[in-house]
Structures are given as structure tokens and as C-alpha cells.
């Protein structure tokens, strides 16, 4: 809630005058949230860094918090709003802690919305305190996951924020809800907080409603461990296998669905859900049973080609998903490995497109993809290296040399995957694998770059024992 001080100075008053005006803005926004159906509102009232402000201003703020809490408890209770407070309470005065406990206890049973007051709050401090609780609870390393950390945050159970609004033109996160805001949308408005009203909130929500949440079902299902990842693989692999049947027909030998789908599904889950089934036995059955079946089904004159196409398609699509699931299920950083592999591929594609379209001069595999350039390919590899440096070295703390090596593997294999699918489409004489995604082709067109990297990443991290 930025801009209280500037609002006051423009009117020739001290900062405390602006803070009192800011409290009135909170009441306006709470009223608007109730009208507009916003069920949870978090307000950043005082940060762990705000203690460095002038002592007089800090004292005035604390008096204001105490007065407001005391004055508004009954009103919030009457409206059915539950008050929760996020932050370190030990640094607050006994009177303030008492008032907080009273407000939280008094409104605990209310169900008509939640007001989360972030008081003496810092996003990093919250994560540190959550980790301290993990240690105090005696959790073993393999028991520490995102759910374990989330359950030890200041107010566990609150949904992650969909939208974060910064007033007064500020454009940084300022240590606010760092864990919870991983996929939140951001909106910056030049309006100073004391002037913020229902019209501003409506405009912010309208802007939010017009956006496409790009992480969508992919991240949502992946985070719903463990079944979400398996469902996601089932959907994506199933659609990609269906598209492969059409491509294979254009490549002269239509892959049989009765062989392609079961075998592709088995390969996708062979290291996780179906790990107790012998892969050699399945391959032997596919060899003997699959070839023998063409003696009795239509198309036996092309039996060997159709069998080979079915086997190739099942491996081409099913096996990469298997390695994503293997990465994903690895402890303790499985989800991080899987996500950063995908992020590296996305950065690779974006960098290759941006640089190739602007400064690319030297053609690269023109017979398969005439728009690719050497400059774009190099930029794509460097983009993948950058993401892996952030994820592998920065987030997980492994050697930068491992990050660079993995970035090179991802960058090269992602572009090879794109070229392989482009070659298939050229042979089949089609532009896209399907028209399933209007304006963007098919699922396989979106997945082609991410199919090869997880295989190389998994073997690298297991070889060097850095999972």
C-alpha cells in the first residue's frame, strides 16, 4: 500500500497524516471486495524492513495499528470477516500482541471472507521461520517437500494470491509473499494508496480477467503431487500419440492405434507407476505379438512398416514422458529438476526465435526448417544455459559447471527435437501435426522441443549423483 507519505507531503502534512488516510482506503477496498466477490485480501501493513524508518514515524504507525485493530474488531466480526495476521510477533509490543490475539480469536469462526494483515512481515523471514519449524519438528530430508514448507508458513491454508497490486508506481516485490506469489499476476498503478478506491479495484480486476494464465493446467496439475503429474502425462501423451497416427499415415505407414497407445502408455509410466513390470517382457510381447498380429488384421502387406512405425511412435512420445516422471519423482529436488528442464527449453525456443529473426544471417538446416539460423541456434543454447545456471546453481546450489553442461545438453537436444518433428511433417507434407490448438497447430508441435531434453538431463544427474 505505497504512497501514503507522498500523498501527505503533497498536502503539506507529515507522513502520519497519510497513514491515517491509508487506513480509510483499506475500509473502502474491503467494502469493494465484498461487493465484487473477492474472498481473501492481504494487505502489507508493515514490513520487517520498516523498522529502519524514523523512530517517530514507526511509533505513530504502531499507535495507528493498535487503535485501528481495537476500533475495527467488532465491525469485522459483524460483517463475518476473519482476521489473520502474518508476520513475526515477538518484535511487537505486548499491547499489540494482545490486540492481535483478541482480533484473531474473536473472528476465528467467520466465513464471509478473510483479511490477512501482514504486520512485521518479510517473505524471506517467513521461509526462514518455516525451515526452523521443519528442523524443530525433526523432519528427515526426504520428508521435506513443498507441502511440508507450505504447512509451516505464518498462515497455512490461505490460497496463493491471484493478483498482487502495487500502488504509487512501485515495480518491485519488496519481500512480499515471496513463496505464495510464484505464479501471481502483477499490476502496477500510479495511484497513491490513500486515493485507491472501488473504481481502481474494478479496473485492476478487469485487467486481471483479460490475461491468460500461461502456466495453466500444466503447472497446476504438476503441483498436485503425485496424481496430477500422471494425469497430465496421460492427457498430453494421449493427444500427441493420436496426432502421430496422422503423421505416420503421411509418412507411408500408418501406426496401428492398438499397438501405439498401449505401448506408448507403458513407456511413459514404465519407470514409475509400472516400474514392477519387466520392460524386456513387454518388448518381447510387442515384437512377437505385434508382428504376428499383422497376419490376421487388415494391412498385412504393410505389416512390418506399420509395426515399426507403432514401435517408433511409442518410444518417441512415451519414453520422454517417462524421464520427466522419473525426474519429478526424485527426492528431494524432483519437481525443481523437471520444471527447470522445461523452463530451459522454453527459454531456448524464445531466444532462438528472437535472435534468429532479428540478426540471423546464416541458414541452419534449410532443407528441414528454412527459417532457422546459426545465430538463433547459438542464442537458444545460451538461453538454456542461463536458465540452468539459475536453477541448478542458484536454486539448488550445485556447481555452475554442472549447470553449464546441462544447459548445453538441453539447448542442443531441444533444437534437435524441433528439427526431428519438422522433418516428420515435411515427409508427411503437412504444416502442423494437427489443428487441435487454433492458430498454433497441434500438441506435438508444442511438445517437440521438450521431448529429448529430460532423457539427457536424467542420465546426467544420475551419472554425477546430483539429484
What is the domain range of residue 84?
4-213
Can you tell me the distance from the alpha carbon of 17 to that of 427, in angstroms, rounded to the nearest whole number? 72
Residue 336 and residue 268 share a domain:
no
Judge contact between 71 and 83, C-beta under 8 A: no
- Catalytic residue selected from 50, 175, 195, 197: 50
Could you tell me the three cell numbers for 158? 490461505
* Mean pLDDT of the region 42-61: 89
Residue 298 has pLDDT above 80, yes or no: no
Classify burial at 40, counting beta carbons within 10 Å of its beta carbon; exposed 0-12, middle 13-18, buried 19 or more.
middle
Residue-level length of the chain:
467
Check residues 369 and 222 and name the one with the higher pLDDT: 369
pLDDT given at position 440 = 62
Can you tell me the distance from the alpha carbon of 382 to that of 339, in angstroms, rounded to the nearest whole number? 18
Residue 216 has pLDDT above 60, yes or no: no
Residue 207 and residue 235 share a domain:
no
Judge contact between 116 and 43, C-beta under 8 A: yes
Among 324, 343, 376, residue at a domain's last position: 324
- Residue 185 has φ and ψ, to the nearest 5°, of -85, 145
* Mean pLDDT of the region 89-98: 91
Residue 219 and residue 209 share a domain:
no
Please state the pTM of the whole predicted model: 0.54
* Mean pLDDT of the region 204-213: 71
Residue 395 and residue 320 share a domain:
no
pLDDT given at position 213 = 47
Among 294, 309, 324, residue at a domain's last position: 324
Please state, as a whole number, how many other Cβ atoms lie within 10 Å of the Cβ of residue 336: 17
Task: Please confirm, yes or no, whether 2 is among the known catalytic residues.
Answer: yes
Residue 203 and residue 253 share a domain:
no
Can you tell me the distance from the alpha carbon of 291 to that of 408, in angstroms, rounded to the nearest whole number? 39
> Helix, strand, coil: what percent of the chain each, to 5?
60, 5, 30
Residue 227 and residue 198 share a domain:
no
Residue 307 and residue 209 share a domain:
no
Sequence-ordered strand ranges (E) for 145-236: 163-166, 185-188
Map residue 328 onto helix, strand or coil.
Answer: helix
- Residue 42 has φ and ψ, to the nearest 5°, of -105, 130
Rg (C-alpha) for the chain, rounded Å, is 28
Task: Please confirm, yes or no, whether 280 is among the known catalytic residues.
Answer: no
Residue 223 and residue 205 share a domain:
no
Output the DSSP codes for 77-99: HHTTPEEEEES--TTS-HHHHHH
Residue 217 has pLDDT above 60, yes or no: no
Q: Which helix (H) or strand (E) holds 118?
A: strand 114-121
Instruction: Of 36-50, 83-97, 214-228, 256-270, give the lowest mean pLDDT range.
Output: 214-228
Cα–Cα nearest to 100, from 70, 137, 143 = 70
Residue 63's domain is classified under what CATH number? 3.40.1180.10
For 370-385, write each residue's pLDDT tens digit: 678 899 899 999 999 9
Burial readout 270-305 (b: 16 or more C-beta within 10 A, e: otherwise): bbbbeeeeeeeebeeebeeebeebbeeeeeeeebeb
Residue 300 has pLDDT above 70, yes or no: no
pLDDT given at position 225 = 55
pLDDT given at position 111 = 87
Check residues 53 and 297 and name the one with the higher pLDDT: 53
Judge contact between 364 and 374, C-beta under 8 A: yes
Residue 276 and residue 411 share a domain:
no
pLDDT given at position 149 = 92
User: Rounded to the nearest 10 degrees, what angle do helices 453-463 and 334-359 cross at?
Assistant: 130
* Mean pLDDT of the region 7-34: 90
Q: How confident is the model at residue 359 (pLDDT cuts 50, 70, 90)?
A: confident
Among 294, 324, 354, residue at a domain's last position: 324
Residue 150 and residue 196 share a domain:
yes
On average, the pLDDT of the chain sits at 88
Residue 91 and residue 43 share a domain:
yes
Residue 204 makes CB contacts below 8 A (sequence gap 6+) with 163, 165, 187, 189
Number of domains in the chain: 3
Residue 51 and residue 190 share a domain:
yes
* Mean pLDDT of the region 426-433: 83
Judge contact between 388 and 407, C-beta under 8 A: yes
Judge contact between 4 and 15, C-beta under 8 A: yes
Judge contact between 18 and 7, C-beta under 8 A: yes
User: To 10 degrees, the CA torsion angle through 112, 117, 118, 120?
Assistant: -150
For 221-267, write each residue's pLDDT tens digit: 455 556 778 888 898 999 999 999 999 988 888 899 999 999 999 99
Residue 122 makes CB contacts below 8 A (sequence gap 6+) with 47, 48, 49, 87, 88, 175
User: To 10 degrees, the CA torsion angle through 131, 137, 138, 141?
Assistant: -40
Can you tell me the distance from the alpha carbon of 173 to that of 420, in angstroms, rounded to the nearest whole number? 41
Q: How confident is the model at residue 147 (pLDDT cuts 50, 70, 90)?
A: confident
Cα–Cα nearest to 246, from 82, 442, 4, 107 = 442
Amino acid at each position: 500500500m505505497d504512497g501514503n507519505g507522498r500523498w501527505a507531503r503533497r498536502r503539506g502534512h507529515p507522513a502520519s497524516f497519510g497513514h491515517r488516510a491509508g487506513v480509510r482506503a483499506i475500509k473502502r477496498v474491503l467494502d469493494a471486495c465484498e461487493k465484487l466477490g473477492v474472498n481473501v485480501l492481504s494487505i502489507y501493513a508493515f514490513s520487517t524492513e520498516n523498522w529502519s524508518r524514523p523512530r517517530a514515524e514507526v511509533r505513530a504507525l504502531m499507535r495507528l495499528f493498535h487503535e485501528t485493530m481495537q476500533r475495527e474488531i467488532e465491525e469485522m466480526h459483524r460483517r463475518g470477516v476473519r482476521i489473520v495476521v502474518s508476520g513475526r510477533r515477538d518484535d511487537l509490543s505486548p499491547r499489540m500482541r494482545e490486540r492481535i490475539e483478541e482480533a484473531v480469536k474473536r473472528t476465528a469462526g467467520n466465513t464471509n471472507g478473510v483479511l490477512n494483515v501482514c504486520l512485521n512481515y518479510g517473505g524471506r523471514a517467513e521461509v526462514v521461520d518455516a525451515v526452523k519449524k521443519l528442523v524443530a519438528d525433526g523432519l528427515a530430508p526426504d520428508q521435506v517437500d513443498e507441502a511440508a514448507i507450505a504447512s509451516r508458513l505464518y498462515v497455512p491454508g490461505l490460497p496463493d494470491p491471484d493478483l498482487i497490486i502495487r500502488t504509487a508506481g512501485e515495480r518491485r516485490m519488496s519481500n512480499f509473499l515471496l513463496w505464495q506469489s510464484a505464479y501471481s499476476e502483477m499490476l502496477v498503478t500510479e495511484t497513491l494508496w490513500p486515493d485507491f478506491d472501488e473504481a481502481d479495484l474494478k479496473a485492476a480486476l478487469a485487467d486481471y480477467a483479460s490475461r491468460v494464465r500461461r502456466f495453466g493446467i500444466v503447472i497446476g496439475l504438476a503441483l498436485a503431487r503425485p496424481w496430477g503429474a500422471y494425469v497430465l502425462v496421460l492427457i498430453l501423451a494421449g493427444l500427441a500419440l493420436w496426432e502421430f497416427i496422422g503423421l505416420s499415415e503421411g509418412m507411408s505407414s500408418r501406426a496401428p492405434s492398438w499397438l501405439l497407445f498401449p505401448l506408448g502408455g507403458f513407456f511413459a509410466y514404465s519407470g514409475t507407476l509400472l516400474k514392477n513390470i519387466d520392460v524386456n517382457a513387454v518388448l518381447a510381447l510387442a515384437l512377437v505379438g505385434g508382428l504376428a498380429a499383422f497376419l490376421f488384421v487388415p494391412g498385412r502387406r504393410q505389416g512390418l512398416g506399420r509395426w515399426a512405425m507403432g514401435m517408433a511412435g511409442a518410444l518417441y512420445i512415451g519414453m520422454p514422458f517417462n524421464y520427466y516422471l522419473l525426474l519429478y519423482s526424485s527426492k528431494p529436488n524432483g519437481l525443481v529438476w523437471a520444471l527447470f528442464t522445461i523452463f530451459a527449453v522454453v527459454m531456448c525456443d524464445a531466444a532462438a526465435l528472437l535472435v534468429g529473426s532479428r540478426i540471423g544471417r546464416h541458414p541452419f538446416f534449410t532443407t528441414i526448417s528454412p527459417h532457422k539460423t546459426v545465430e538463433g541456434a547459438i542464442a537458444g543454447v545460451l538461453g538454456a544455459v542461463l536458465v540452468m545456471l539459475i536453477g541448478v546453481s542458484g536454486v539448488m546450489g550445485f556447481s555452475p559447471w554442472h549447470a553449464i553442461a546441462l544447459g548445453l545438453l538441453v539447448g542442443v537436444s531441444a533444437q534437435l527435437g524441433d528439427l526431428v518433428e519438422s522433418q516428420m511433417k515435411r515427409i508427411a507434407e503437412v504444416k502442423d501435426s494437427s489443428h487441435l490448438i487454433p492458430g498454433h497447430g497441434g500438441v506435438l508441435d508444442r511438445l517437440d522441443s521438450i521431448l529429448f531434453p529430460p532423457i539427457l538431463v536424467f542420465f546426467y544427474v544420475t551419472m554425477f549423483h546430483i539429484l
